[in-house]
C-alpha cells in the first residue's frame, strides 16, 4: 500500500476519509456505508450489556496512520474525547516511522491470579503452607485445568504456581499465585473460574493436611485475577536522529537533550512521573478502548508496574547519545489485552477496530499499543521542553469551545481560528466572536 494515500488525511472530509479506507481495501464498502449512516451499538445490544441502560454514549474514533512497528505499517484506531491526542500520536509516530520505526517484543504473556486464605499469624504454619504448595504444584495446576478445560484446546492453560505469606495485624494471609496462558483472551473470567476452584480445593486439602484437633486452620477469603500483570509485559524501543526534533530557534540536539532530562525528572519526582505516565496512557487507553478491551485493567496494571521498585516512576525512559546525536526511547509495561472475550466480539466498533488493524493476534496488538504509548510520550515531551504544551492544545481546545457555544458547520473552524488569535479562549469571548461572525455574514 502506497503511503501517498494517507497524505493530508486530516484535511479531508469524513466522506473522503471513508473513501480512502475503502480504496485501500482496509474497510469494505458496506462498512463505510454503515459509518456514513452513523451506525453503532444498538440500544437493544446496550441493554443486554450492562444494567439500567437508558442510552449509549458516543466518543470519537480517529486514526494514527502508518505507524511502523517491527517493519510493518499499521493503521491504529484511537477512541478519545481529548483534543490533540490523535494529532500528537500521528506527529510523533511519523517522526519515528519514517526512520527505522519502533522495535517491539512481548517479554511474557501470562496472566496472574491469586487465591487468599486467612489463618494464624504463625511462622510454623507459614512454613508448612509454603512446603505444602511447593509439593502440590502439579495438583493445583490440575485443579485449575479441570475447572476451565476450554482454554487447553487453544493451546493455553495454567503454567505455574507459587506461594506467599503476609502477616498483618496478627492475622496471616496465605496466598497461592497462579500464572495462566490465556492465549488470545485477556482471561479474567476464565482465570476467576480456575481460581475459585483452586480456592475451595486448596482450603479443604490444607485443612485436612495441617489442621490440629479437627479445627480448621484456614478460611477461604477470596480468589481473583490480579491486575498487577507483571507476567504480561511488552517492551518497545525507538531510536531517532536529534535533528528531527528541532523547533524554530531550537536545535534538535538541544530538544533531544532536554527530553532526556525530562525523562530523568520522571524517574525521581512522583508529581512529574504521574503526568509523564498519563501522557503515555492518553495513547494507550485510546487504542485499548477502540479495541473493546478493559481500560481499567490496563490502567491499574500500568500504574502498579510504575511503582514496582517501591517508588512511582515514569514508565518510558529517554536517553540522549551526544556522540551520535540520537535520542533513544524505551517503554516497558504490562498490557493484558485480548482479541476475543469480554465485549470484543460483540461491540460493533471493536469489530471495526479489528478490521482497521488487520485482525492482529493479541501479542502483536500489545506491541502496537505500546508503540502508540511511546509515540504519545515523545510528542508530549517534545512540546513540553520547547514551546510548551499550551499553544498546540489551545488551538484544538478552541474548536471545543466553538462547538460548546453553538458554532455549526464552517463556523467551527472560523470561530476556532478567531478564538485562537484572541487573548482569551473562553466561552464569553467565543459567544461575542460568534455573534460578530454571524452579523458579518448577514451584512454581506
Ligand atoms: P471470556 O470470559 O469471554 O473468555 C474468553 C473466551 O474466548 C474463552 O473462554 C473461549 O471460549 C473464547 N476463545 C476463542 N478463541 C480463543 C483463543 N484463541 N484463546 C482464548 N480464548 C478463546 O473473556 P475473558 O476471560 O478474557 O474475560 C475478559 C472480561 O473479564 C473483560 O470483559 C473484563 O472486563 C472482565 N473482568 C475483568 C476483571 C479484572 O480485570 N480484574 C475481573 C472480572 C472480569 P470458547 O471456548 O467458548 O470459545
Checking if the pLDDT of 397 tops 90, the result is: no
- The answer to whether 404 and 430 have CB atoms below 8 angstroms apart is yes
Atom 35 in ligand 1: residue holding the nearest Cα? 188
User: In the beta sheet, which residues pair with residue 219?
Assistant: 118
* 173 and 236, same domain (yes or no): no
* 87 and 213, same domain (yes or no): no
Mean pLDDT, range 384-402, rounded to an integer: 80
**Mutation pick for ligand 1 pocket among 186, 191, 295, 335 (CB with most ligand atoms within 8 Å):** 186
Contacts of 329 (CB under 8 A, 6+ apart): 237, 238, 239, 240, 316, 317, 318, 374, 377, 378
The residue from 176, 206, 225 where one domain ends is 225
Cα–Cα distance for residue pair 66/4, rounded to 1 Å: 11
* 92 and 235, same domain (yes or no): yes
* 143 and 179, same domain (yes or no): yes
Mean pLDDT, range 68-91, rounded to an integer: 96
- Read off φ and ψ for residue 326, nearest 5 degrees: -130, 145
Checking if the pLDDT of 54 tops 70, the result is: yes
Q: How confident is the prediction for the chain on average, in pLDDT?
A: 95
Calculate how far, in angstroms, residue 295's C-alpha sits from the geometric centre of ligand 1: 15
Report DSSP letters for 363-400, one per residue. Answer: HHHHHHHHHHHHHHHHHHHHHHTTT-SHHHHHHHHHHH
| pLDDT score, position 121 | 97
Atom 13 in ligand 1: residue holding the nearest Cα? 340
Q: Which residues of 330-347 are buried (b: 16+ CB within 10 A; e: fewer)?
A: bbbbbbbbbbebbebeeb
Contacts of 391 (CB under 8 A, 6+ apart): none
**Mutation pick for ligand 1 pocket among 149, 155, 181, 189 (CB with most ligand atoms within 8 Å):** 189
Q: Grid coordinates representing 220?
A: 477461604
Tell me: the pLDDT tens digits for 14-33?
A: 999 999 999 999 999 999 99
CA 438 to chain centre: 42
| pLDDT score, position 423 | 78
Atom 17 in ligand 1: residue holding the nearest Cα? 184
In a domain, 407, yes or no: yes
Closest by CA to 216, choosing from 225, 227, 208, 228, is: 208
pTM as predicted: 0.92
Mean pLDDT, range 57-79, rounded to an integer: 97
Mean pLDDT, range 325-342, rounded to an integer: 97
* 144 and 118, same domain (yes or no): yes
Checking if the pLDDT of 175 tops 90, the result is: yes
Mean pLDDT, range 385-405, rounded to an integer: 80
For CA atoms 427, 428, 434, 437, the dihedral sign is: negative
Confidence tier at 60 by pLDDT (50, 70, 90): very high
CA 46 to chain centre: 23
Calculate how far, in angstroms, residue 166's C-alpha sits from the geometric centre of ligand 1: 30
* 373 and 292, same domain (yes or no): yes
Q: Catalytic residues, which ones?
A: 82, 278, 294, 393
In a domain, 302, yes or no: yes
In a domain, 19, yes or no: no
- What's the total number of domains in the chain? 3
Residue whose entry in the numeric block shows the C-alpha cell 521498585: 309
Calculate how far, in angstroms, residue 277's C-alpha sits from the geometric centre of ligand 1: 27
Calculate how far, in angstroms, residue 196's C-alpha sits from the geometric centre of ligand 1: 16
* 253 and 379, same domain (yes or no): yes
Please report, for the domain that includes residue 149, its CATH number: 3.30.70.420
Cα–Cα distance for residue pair 146/140, rounded to 1 Å: 10
Atom 16 in ligand 1: residue holding the nearest Cα? 184
In a domain, 7, yes or no: no
- The answer to whether 345 and 45 have CB atoms below 8 angstroms apart is no
| pLDDT score, position 65 | 96
Confidence tier at 72 by pLDDT (50, 70, 90): very high
In a domain, 271, yes or no: yes
Checking if the pLDDT of 80 tops 80, the result is: yes
Calculate how far, in angstroms, residue 343's C-alpha sits from the geometric centre of ligand 1: 9
More confident residue, 425 or 325: 325
* 117 and 196, same domain (yes or no): yes
Checking if the pLDDT of 95 tops 90, the result is: yes
Calculate how far, in angstroms, residue 153's C-alpha sits from the geometric centre of ligand 1: 14
In a domain, 207, yes or no: yes
Q: Grid coordinates representing 32?
A: 463505510
User: In the beta sheet, which residues pair with residue 113?
Assistant: 178, 225
Measured from the Cα of 190, ligand 1's closest atom is 25
Confidence tier at 211 by pLDDT (50, 70, 90): confident
Contacts of 400 (CB under 8 A, 6+ apart): 83
- Would strands 326-334 and 157-168 be described as parallel, antiparallel, or unpaired? unpaired
* 137 and 214, same domain (yes or no): yes
* 200 and 98, same domain (yes or no): no
**Mutation pick for ligand 1 pocket among 342, 345, 350, 361 (CB with most ligand atoms within 8 Å):** 342
Measured from the Cα of 184, ligand 1's closest atom is 19
Checking if the pLDDT of 214 tops 90, the result is: no
Atom 43 in ligand 1: residue holding the nearest Cα? 188
- What is the share, in percent, of the chain residues with pLDDT greater than 90? 84
Long-range contacts of 319-325 (CB under 8 A, 24+ apart): 319/260, 319/263, 320/242, 320/253, 320/256, 320/257, 320/259, 320/260, 322/253, 322/257, 325/241, 325/242, 325/243, 325/252, 325/253, 325/256
361 three-state secondary structure: coil
Checking if the pLDDT of 163 tops 80, the result is: yes
Report DSSP letters for 159-223, one per residue. Answer: EEEEEEEEEETTEEEEEEEEEEE-TTB--HHHHHHHHHHHHHHHHHHHHHHH-BTTB---EEEEE
In a domain, 220, yes or no: yes
In a domain, 253, yes or no: yes
Measured from the Cα of 191, ligand 1's closest atom is 25
* 137 and 96, same domain (yes or no): no
Half-sphere exposure of 382 (CA within 13 A, CB side): 28
Ligand 1: residues with CB < 6 A are 150-151, 154, 183-190, 192, 225, 227, 294, 297, 338, 340-343
Q: Grid coordinates representing 193?
A: 473460574
| pLDDT score, position 182 | 98
| pLDDT score, position 71 | 97
Please report, for the domain that includes residue 264, its CATH number: 3.90.770.10
More confident residue, 324 or 396: 324
Please report, for the domain that includes residue 399, its CATH number: 1.10.8
Measured from the Cα of 186, ligand 1's closest atom is 26
Confidence tier at 1 by pLDDT (50, 70, 90): low
**Mutation pick for ligand 1 pocket among 145, 147, 148, 188 (CB with most ligand atoms within 8 Å):** 188
* 236 and 295, same domain (yes or no): yes
Mean pLDDT, range 66-95, rounded to an integer: 96
Q: Grid coordinates representing 153?
A: 484446546
The residue from 175, 208, 225 where one domain ends is 225
Confidence tier at 387 by pLDDT (50, 70, 90): confident
Locate all alpha helices (DSSP H) within 211-269, ordered by sequence. 252-268
Checking if the pLDDT of 304 tops 70, the result is: yes
Domain extent at residue 401: 392-441
Least reliable range by pLDDT among 9-13, 273-277, 348-352, 440-444? 440-444
| pLDDT score, position 392 | 67
- Residue 294, judged by CB atoms within 10 A of its CB (0-12, 13-18, 19+), counts as buried
Atom 6 in ligand 1: residue holding the nearest Cα? 341
The residue from 174, 200, 225 where one domain ends is 225
Atom 2 in ligand 1: residue holding the nearest Cα? 189
Measured from the Cα of 148, ligand 1's closest atom is 9
- The answer to whether 375 and 92 have CB atoms below 8 angstroms apart is yes
Amino acid at each position: 500500500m502506497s503511503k501517498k494515500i494517507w497524505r493530508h488525511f486530516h484535511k479531508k472530509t469524513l466522506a473522503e476519509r471513508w473513501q480512502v479506507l475503502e480504496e485501500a481495501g482496509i474497510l469494505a464498502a458496506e462498512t463505510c456505508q454503515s459509518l456514513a449512516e452513523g451506525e453503532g451499538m444498538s440500544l437493544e445490544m446496550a441493554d443486554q450489556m450492562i444494567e439500567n441502560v437508558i442510552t449509549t454514549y458516543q466518543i470519537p474514533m480517529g486514526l494514527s496512520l502508518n505507524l511502523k512497528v517491527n517493519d510493518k505499517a499499521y493503521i491504529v484506531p484511537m477512541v478519545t474525547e481529548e483534543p490533540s491526542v490523535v494529532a500528537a500520536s500521528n506527529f510523533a509516530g511519523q517522526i519515528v516511522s519514517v526512520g527505522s520505526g519502533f522495535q517491539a517484543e512481548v517479554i511474557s504473556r501470562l496472566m496472574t491470579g491469586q487465591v487468599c486464605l486467612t489463618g494464624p499469624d504463625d511462622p510454623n504454619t507459614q512454613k508448612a503452607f509454603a512446603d505444602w504448595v511447593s509439593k502440590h504444584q502439579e495438583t493445583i495446576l490440575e485443579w485449575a485445568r479441570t475447572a476451565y478445560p476450554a482454554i487447553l484446546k487453544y493451546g493455553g492453560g495454567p503454567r505455574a504456581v507459587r506461594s506467599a505469606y503476609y502477616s498483618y495485624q496478627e492475622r496471616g494471609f496465605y496466598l497461592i499465585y497462579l500464572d495462566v496462558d490465556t492465549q488470545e483472551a485477556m482471561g479474567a473470567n476464565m482465570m476467576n473460574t480456575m481460581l475459585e476452584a483452586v480456592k475451595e480445593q486448596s482450603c479443604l486439602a490444607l485443612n485436612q493436611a495441617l489442621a490440629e484437633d479437627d479445627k480448621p486452620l484456614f478460611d477461604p477469603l477470596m480468589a481473583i485475577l490480579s491486575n498487577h500483570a507483571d507476567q504480561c509485559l511488552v517492551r518497545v524501543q525507538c531510536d531517532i536522529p536529534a535533528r528531527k526534533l528541532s523547533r524554530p530557534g531550537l536545535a534538535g540536539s538541544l530538544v533531544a537533550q532536554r527530553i532526556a532530562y525530562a525523562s530523568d525528572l520522571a524517574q525521581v519526582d512522583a508529581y512529574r512521573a504521574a503526568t509523564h505516565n498519563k501522557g503515555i496512557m492518553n495513547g494507550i487507553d485510546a487504542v485499548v478502548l477502540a479495541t473493546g478491551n478493559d481500560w481499567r485493567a490496563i490502567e491499574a496494571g500500568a500504574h502498579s508496574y510504575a511503582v514496582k521498585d517501591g517508588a512511582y516512576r515514569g514508565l518510558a525512559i529517554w536517553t540522549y547519545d551526544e556522540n551520535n546525536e540520537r535520542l533513544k526511547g524505551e517503554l516497558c509495561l504490562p498490557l493484558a489485552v485480548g482479541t476475543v472475550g469480554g465485549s470484543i466480539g460483540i461491540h460493533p466498533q471493536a469489530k471495526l477496530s479489528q478490521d482497521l488493524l488487520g485482525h492482529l493476534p493479541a501479542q502483536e496488538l500489545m506491541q502496537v499499543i505500546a508503540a502508540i504509548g511511546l509515540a504519545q510520550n515523545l510528542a508530549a515531551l517534545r512540546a513540553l521542553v520547547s514551546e510548551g504544551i499550551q499553544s498546540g492544545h489551545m488551538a484544538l481546545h478552541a474548536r471545543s469551545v466553538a462547538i460548546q457555544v453553538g458554532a455549526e458547520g464552517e463556523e467551527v473552524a472560523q470561530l476556532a481560528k478567531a478564538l485562537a488569535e484572541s487573548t482569551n479562549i473562553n466561552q464569553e469571548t467565543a459567544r461575542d466572536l460568534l455573534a460578530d461572525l454571524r452579523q458579518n455574514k448577514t451584512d454581506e
